[in-house]
Structure 1
């Protein structure tokens, strides 16, 4: 498959493709023709979802892995290909946009995300009728996630239960979070614990060098970088956007992929999280800006603008550490803002050591 492909098929090839897809994805094809379905999400052979009228629904069906791979191969074959082979596919068919990922990059088996383009143009009057232009959007609170109350700064400073409540508030209000620390400091373990608070109705994508994050939500798609196939974290951050996630967890950033992550977190994916190495929570902000600048696109980004963007993207940074063999939380800061001179932060929690 090519890393990026575009429709270039004859009518005969299209007809063949449709026959193959109807055979391979026969149990799903009814949803291709349903105007209320916007997205078909195949996280793996036995984890299949649709988005219908803005709501995610899990389908009680499965597709054999070999059949799913056949469908992906068919889509790839009628699209133009580059000379570089890749387990990632971004393709178009008439009325459809298809993103697909093959193992081992897709950690739960071959996956696809199929976007149906609407056959009708939505009119302004339709927006009005559906309440899309109303100043207040009302939800049934019994059907939405409960927003927990943020603990006071005084209680957070005392640690304990208030820290757990702060993390629950961060997740429920969809604040982005950066987790920093040294190697083996417990960053992944802390992210795993925080991720357990994500509501089951959310769709979560994870991107890692080595798959370690444990996401309990049922609608989860995981990707693992693979140097053998030329698939790095940066290419996966871009690719993941085609998979319609609510939240994106990046297990570790080390370089220019930080630029793409920053962009992704500011394009409709609040409540995401990332981990990376640093010596403290505040120094993590400066390391992050250095990693962003490793991307050629960010080389000319004015420092003040870059820092403001980082401050807006990550309102909270937490630092994990090891003390005498114990992995623990060492620090929590809130990022208030930034200028060319640096970041304005507020220390919410900082561990001190007393010997006796």
Structure 2
């Protein structure tokens, strides 16, 4: 998205809708075109915020209620989603070109239609791009709008360990808070996978950029009543060598650890947690909430038997980093047995 224009990249898309979307977003274009801005947040009429260099700023941008409603409606049409005031249609999520849009319609959003635009990665990073002496990331070929985070670097020993984890088909979780770089880092881990592997990726909203030749991408769709959990189950019938879940947040946690414990090694996923160790507890909670008739200890033992490593990302003062990294070695005496491989002070 450069030069103040939204380009239609799918031949099936309606050029008229694209022109209407361009018009609806015209007031936001200076923000969307600014390479230093990662996210644009519309809280309601004429209440527009941005994230720049990790800090939130209120802008003087004027964006009306009609602008917001029109933009959401056109985006929904172009991405084959339904929005409206019927059950399940007041919330909207979609990846579109080089951005991800999450919206909540009024009156659910009490100050007027609200949405958040996150720029997706225009730069595809490899693990080597995170090394201290790496000059840059590799262009994806479509855009260079995504900010290159020069300060997010990893020691060579961590880089080598992560390569080893992926190459030896260890099951890995990437945890962290919002906007800590989990998806971008997950993409970097995927790039380590050999081209001979058959990979199935499952996402709530498509964000991953995968260039493996034998790759199938699944995206959940609430309008069609297809959940991430449904897709994890379906994936097992697709002869995967590896499974990647863009974000584990519910009952799919149970199906994913079942897959890992039945011969599907080399799986990856992200989840929200406060630390690498806390990620294991969060996974337990998700499994418990899906209604399985297992004790807490049985769930923990299952997790310990299939999750091999956890990488926790954080953001401090706008700078992203690997805060801690653990290797899971088992479950004994009511506790996970782990080895801390990295701990930032």
Under TM normalisation by the shorter chain, which class is it?
0.5 to 0.7
CA distance in 1, matches of 2:244, 2:317: 29
Displacement after TM superposition at 1:242 (Å): 1.3
Displacement after TM superposition at 1:168 (Å): 0.7
Normalising by structure 2, we get a TM-score of: 0.54
SS in 2 for 1:293: helix
Q: Could you say which residue in structure 1 is the equivalent of 2:340?
A: 347
SS in 2 for 1:201: coil
**Which is higher, the Rg of structure 1 or of structure 2?**
1
Alignment of 1:167-178 (within 5 A): 167-178=162-173
Contact 1:307 1:339 (C-alpha < 8 Å) held by counterparts: no
SS in 2 for 1:317: strand
CA distance in 1, matches of 2:202, 2:333: 31
Residue 177 (structure 2) pairs with residue 182 (structure 1): yes
Cα deviation per residue 1:277-329 (whole Å; 9 max; x = unaligned)?
00000011011000011112x2x212222111101111111101112112221
Alignment of 1:1-356 (within 5 A): 160-296=155-291, 298=292, 300-339=293-332, 341-352=334-345
Displacement after TM superposition at 1:341 (Å): 2.1
Q: Could you say which residue in structure 1 is the equivalent of 2:99?
A: none
CA distance in 1, matches of 2:159, 2:266: 16
Paired residues, what number?
Answer: 195
CA distance in 2, matches of 1:274, 1:340: 27
SS in 1 for 2:236: helix
Displacement after TM superposition at 1:268 (Å): 2.2
CA distance in 1, matches of 2:211, 2:304: 29
Normalising by structure 1, we get a TM-score of: 0.53
Cα deviation per residue 1:182-220 (whole Å; 9 max; x = unaligned)?
011111111101111100000000000111112221100
Contact 1:307 1:340 (C-alpha < 8 Å) held by counterparts: no
Displacement after TM superposition at 1:340 (Å): 5.8
Q: Could you say which residue in structure 1 is the equivalent of 2:29?
A: none
Displacement after TM superposition at 1:228 (Å): 0.3
Q: Could you say which residue in structure 2 is the equivalent of 1:73?
A: none
CA distance in 1, matches of 2:289, 2:235: 21
Contact 1:303 1:340 (C-alpha < 8 Å) held by counterparts: no
SS in 2 for 1:260: helix
* Structure 2, gaps ≥5 residues long: 1-93, 97-153
Displacement after TM superposition at 1:344 (Å): 1.4
CA distance in 2, matches of 1:178, 1:184: 16
SS in 2 for 1:283: helix
* Structure 1, gaps ≥5 residues long: 1-104, 108-158
SS in 1 for 2:324: strand
CA distance in 2, matches of 1:318, 1:241: 25
Cα deviation per residue 1:250-290 (whole Å; 9 max; x = unaligned)?
00111111111111122221111111000000011011000
The Cα RMSD (Å) is 1.9
Contact 1:304 1:338 (C-alpha < 8 Å) held by counterparts: no
